[in-house]
Structure 1
Amino acid sequence: MNKILPVFFTLAVILTLAGCGNTSANNRVISSEKSVVAKNNSTDEHHKSQTCSVKETKIMKNLNIRVGDKTFTATLEDNDTAKALVEQLPLTVDMSDLNNNEKYNNLSGNLRADKSTSPDRINEGDLMLYGNNCLVLFYKTFNTSYSYVKLGHIDNTTGLTEALGSGSVQVSFSE
């Protein structure tokens, strides 16, 4: 009897976890910070659902960045500062050039809700917040010791440097 109980418990855990691994194309995943609920929409199992404990699931949101006639898509970070930026959308700002590697604009309000960190390396296409309200779009890759809050990153930076050009440029941000 002492050997049966651990085997039964192990089998129950395996079956529970196996149910969470269902990857059918008909599944819809609803995320929260502590769990994922998988609902199967097929006709034979329409009313079944399972809740499985997982690590925090990040929800990525896309942002459109328009410069002239070129639009770039960025994936936003899942942080409070990026969410504060989304609340400001749509947003059109004049961005000034700094150091031939970034465009920036001092927004009228404070966006920062997260702690700034030094990324050590800035990548072309990074969208960051410097201080409390300085929105920065980087168009070159370089090392840095400055601290920022990362807001997102442009998915495909082809043509970004050319679109931003030299000097000031008007940039629109929208969902």
Structure 2
Amino acid sequence: MAQRTLQALTALVAVAGIALAAAQARRTSGLPAATEPKIMQRITIMAGDRPMTATLYDNPTARAFAATLPFAVTMHDHRDQEKAGPLPRPLSIGGPAQRDFTAGEIGYWSPTADIAVYYRSGDGLPSPGIIMIGKVDGDLMPMKAKGNLRVRFARAE
């Protein structure tokens, strides 16, 4: 009887651990697992001489970003996962922050007012996390170029 009780308790602890891990994953991402960001508008990105398109999400930070368009920035490689560069001015931080990212996402790093375009997926970003403002539609090859890259962000025509 004691053996069965111990097995039942062990199984219960394992199930609780899985549920706790899933809840923690949702909390660290900043978004519930099933939530998809709402789309606000499309933009163009000229990475060097290569055109790209992206879709901005509908959150306060993305709207503040859209208000800065058009602008150009020299972006640098950061941690072999993204191109990052300073924005013309700091943005509202009203969008949801998260600690993970997927290739193609565009994020705002509020401590330094930098914009980032991720070309690799990852996680473990330090606090306060990154506010995702959009996603590149299509090929990320231009962002993977080594070294600095001049990038122009503008409203889609």
Q: State the TM-score, normalized to the length of structure 1.
A: 0.60
Letter in 2 for 1:136: A
Question: Equivalent residue for 2:110?
Answer: 131
* Matched ranges for 1:87-126 at <5 A: 87-120=67-100, 122-126=101-105
Contact 1:70–1:163, Cα closer than 8 Å, also in 2? no
- TM-score, L = length of structure 2: 0.66
Deviation digits for residues 46-79 of structure 1 (CA, Å, limit 9, x no counterpart) = xxxxxxxxxxxx5520011111221111110101
Q: What RMSD in Å do the two structures reach over aligned CA positions?
A: 1.8
Q: Which runs of 5+ in 1 are unaligned?
A: 1-57
Greater share of helix: 2
Q: Using the aligned pairs only, state the percent identity.
A: 29
| Cα distance in 1, alignment partners of residues 86 and 142 from structure 2 | 23
1:83 Cα deviation after fit: 1.0
1:73 aligns with 2:53: yes
Aligned residue for 1:170? 150
- Is 1:149 the counterpart of 2:131? The answer is yes
Structure 2: give runs of 5+ residues left out of the alignment: 1-37
Structure 2 partner of 1:64: 44
The number of residues matched between the two structures is 115
In structure 2, the CA distance between the partners of 1:71 and 1:142, relative to structure 1 (3 Å rule), is same
Q: CA deviation at 1:162?
A: 4.3
The structure whose RCO (Cα within 8 Å, separation 6+) is larger is 2
Cα deviation, residue 119, structure 1: 4.2
The answer to whether the Cα contact below 8 Å between 2:93 and 2:110 also exists between their aligned partners in 1 is: no
- Match of 1:83, SS state, is helix
Higher gyration radius (CA) = 1
